[in-house]
Structure 1
Amino acid sequence: MSAQTTIIIIGAGAAGLIAAKELSDQYKVTVLEARPQAGGRTTTHYPAPGIHIETGAEFVHGELPITLSLLKEAGIPYTPINGDMYLAENGELKQEEAWIEDWDQLLGHMGKAPAATTMQQLLDQYYPAAQYAALREHVSGYVEGYDLADLDKVSVKYLYDEWTLEQGTNYRIDNGYTTLINYLRKDIELITNQTVQHISWEPGHVTIKTQDKTYTASKVLITVPINMLQNESIQFSPALPAYTAAAKQIGWGTVIKFNLLFKQAFWKRDIGFVLSDEEVPVWWTQSENSLVLTGWMGGPRAAGSQTDLLERALHALAKIFNEPNTAELLDQGFVHNWSTEQGIHGGYSYGMPSSESAKAVLTTPVANTLYFAGEALYSGDSPGTVEAALHSGRETAHKIKSPQV
């Protein structure tokens, strides 16, 4: 390989692939991926003809400019999501607009909180446990389940900005996110099963070592999940202590996702999402005619290896829908524990009080030679999404094309 014209991108997720697409008109680009296939946290599974399930990212959360423009450019169809939101309580399903009592008051406190405040600190200040046990439980479930966050680490400002944002219509990609990944990776040199272990660098030259090969380039773009930088899974020489310290100021959560195909529907067809206090607390339907229910268990309780996951999911559904025969009605069950997934070990990032300053460090190129991108480094209205990864990858590609002197 010629180190004069080559850029190596580490990670074939959305950020790495869109960067490769943007850069390939000016540079020789090679993408190294630790896993057997591209896609990262966007991986569609096709268990039977006419059926697909998303093991990771599933939704297009609103009118997202990059995601939707790519889908249109590629001619990939997508469909608005319909269905109402329900709250499961005491064996009943109740349609709910807001499922946290005193929601408006809570948002008021959140909007006025100092920037350094965590959600745990805010709850302790305004909602003492003895008096507000139910509210604290609801908030905890939402923060951990939806944002995958630890209460004592997540920034109140981050949650406030996210919770008060009007996203508009949400969409699903008709044949799954993998169709978008396949479009992005077209004509890209991709080498899979290459786990990068060490990067030696000097201005204008890098040497990258995987478990069994060595690559050289003039620049490298690192798009691995933020926890890989936190854990120093890649060693840098010279070391980058300020970048490692910055990575540790960005939250990282995990999730277990369930896709259960049933022989018949035992739920109402107008249901979109169901929120509950069961062990697998969040469920949603697919299209009106689909026999798939998707479950979501996020945050600290989803970390590490788990046992009896399918049984626990069926038990949760039995209680939510008052249907004792969920196991007998199950046709196929797919359980995806992202905390144990090779090269990823988690779901997506969340904001901590120092995350924005940390992102400023990580998005600053090192000697116009080392660059970092990914959903965790995005600052905008769509955190933790594929759009965030695409935005970060494209923005960093533009930095590589127009380096700062």
Structure 2
Amino acid sequence: MSAQKEIIIIGAGAAGLMAARELSPQYNVTILEARPQPGGRTTTHYPAPGIHIETGAEFIHGELPVTLSLLQEAGIPYHPVNGEMYLAENGELKQEEGWIEDWDNLLDHMSKAPETTTMQQLLDQYYPAGQYADLRDHVQGYVEGYDLADLNKVSVKYLYDEWTLEQGTNYRIENGYTALIDYLSKGCKLITNQTVQNIAWQPGHVKVTTQDQTYTAHKVLVTVPINILQNEGIQFAPALPAYTKAARQIGWGTVIKFNLIFKQAFWKRDIGFVLSDEEVPVWWTQSEDSLILTGWLGGPHAEGPQTDLLNKALHSLSKIFNVTNIEDLLAQSFIHNWSAEQAIHGGYSYGMPDSEKAKTVLTTPVADTIYFAGEAFYTGDSPGTVEAALQNGKDIAIKIKSPQ
């Protein structure tokens, strides 16, 4: 009987762990992770008994088959997200009753736009700034905040597909995403604190070099965030210029996430989400009895050096809820600037006009020896999510097991 083939997986996020699960019956799998723990952008913090904070991914956006089936298999509880959507305008909180004027007309234009169109080009064509300032502000806030995207880069087709998708109920995992990561990590040969710098390869053989070790295998699966490939954070020998070029055709955005624990609730208990035009514009609650408010600052405004983040968050909440001396009500604060996170440096991907062609390149194996996987390469209905990472990790693992 021949020896089991060796494969190295780079990155112990959702995609890498899911791929390892799929491959382990046929391959001897080694996972190399740059950070001190697995999870990547799904990392739960437990500051006190009975309290958990999602520093990154938090929601299950609808009836997502891979995520929910894994949770059920593992016996990990999850619950629907409750609460109403509110808009903060002119010092008042108003329950949101629908999209603003011209939204349906905008969606109609988006549905007919050429695939090469960016959102900025469509707005400039049909919605001049002087006449449609409110609509343009609303679109910009949504594109930057929800999709972490730049109006000048994001594809209209990508946004249209995402915005018109009915997602159904959102869920939260009872003890956070780390419960799922722990389940997926069981039994894995996982080596942490290993930052991969170079991959020397020839068909059927790879030599993977980190800051202090060298590992060899028959194949390698690279599941690092797309910006690592865009910035050539891993050097390939021979080089893979077509793959680097393709990676740069996929958008990459960042986010700062605020979790603030207060001594008492100063908000209405039926509030789920609040949208505003404050410096930290989006906030949401946890369960009805929770004293945590979570803030979200995404897209271009979250890039670059950041200062005074806690004060910006508190000032935003003070304006939204009309609360003075809000600092006196704060018990603890946890702020995660994902652009500064080791080996990640951002939030998640978004679609640009050439992204679909780029994904075709990136999901094509290199001599059945180098493979790529992750949420950025996913082409289904849940982009930028943990589901996207899990599904793509599974799909690429199946391709590795049965190469064409």
Query: Per the shorter chain, which TM-score range?
Result: over 0.9
Number of the residue aligned with 2:217: 217
Q: Does 1:253 align with 2:253?
A: yes
Post-superposition offset of 1:377? 0.1
Number of the residue aligned with 1:317: 317
Identity of aligned residues (%): 80
Post-superposition offset of 1:98? 2.6
Number of the residue aligned with 2:342: 342
In structure 2, C-alpha distance between the alignment counterparts of 1:311 and 1:290, rounded to whole Å = 22
1:4–1:217 contact (8 Å) kept in structure 2 = no
Number of the residue aligned with 1:160: 160
1:276–1:282 contact (8 Å) kept in structure 2 = yes
Post-superposition offset of 1:305? 2.8
Number of the residue aligned with 2:265: 265
TM-score, normalised by the number of residues in structure 1 = 0.98
Amino acid at match of 1:176: G
Post-superposition offset of 1:130? 1.2
In structure 1, C-alpha distance between the alignment counterparts of 2:235 and 2:86, rounded to whole Å = 47
Number of the residue aligned with 2:81: 81
Q: Check 1:3–1:276 CA distance in 2 against 1; reply closer, same or farther (3 A cut).
A: farther
**Count of aligned residue pairs for this structure pair:** 403
- SS of 1:361's partner is helix
Aligned positions of 1:111-150 closer than 5 A: 111-150=111-150
2:4–2:26 contact (8 Å) kept in structure 1 = no
Number of the residue aligned with 1:401: 401
Amino acid at match of 2:179: T
In structure 1, C-alpha distance between the alignment counterparts of 2:307 and 2:168, rounded to whole Å = 38
In structure 1, C-alpha distance between the alignment counterparts of 2:304 and 2:15, rounded to whole Å = 26
TM-score, normalised by the number of residues in structure 2 = 0.99
Q: Which whole-Å deviations, capped at 9, do the CAs of 1:354-391 have from their partners, x for residues lacking one?
A: 00000000000110000000000000100000000000
Post-superposition offset of 1:69? 0.1
Number of the residue aligned with 2:51: 51
Post-superposition offset of 1:75? 0.2
In structure 1, C-alpha distance between the alignment counterparts of 2:375 and 2:89, rounded to whole Å = 35
In structure 1, C-alpha distance between the alignment counterparts of 2:69 and 2:17, rounded to whole Å = 16
Post-superposition offset of 1:3? 9.4
2:199–2:208 contact (8 Å) kept in structure 1 = yes
Amino acid at match of 1:192: T
Q: Which whole-Å deviations, capped at 9, do the CAs of 1:186-214 have from their partners, x for residues lacking one?
A: 00000000000000000000000001100
2:204–2:218 contact (8 Å) kept in structure 1 = yes
Q: Which whole-Å deviations, capped at 9, do the CAs of 1:155-210 have from their partners, x for residues lacking one?
A: 00000000000000110000000000000000000000000000000000000000
Amino acid at match of 2:315: H
Q: Which whole-Å deviations, capped at 9, do the CAs of 1:55-107 have from their partners, x for residues lacking one?
A: 00000000000000000000000000110000000000111133433111111
1:378–1:388 contact (8 Å) kept in structure 2 = yes
In structure 2, C-alpha distance between the alignment counterparts of 1:67 and 1:314, rounded to whole Å = 34
Q: Which whole-Å deviations, capped at 9, do the CAs of 1:294-331 have from their partners, x for residues lacking one?
A: 00000001012311101100000000000012111000
Structure 1 stretches of 4+ moved >4 Å: none
Q: CA RMSD in A?
A: 1.0
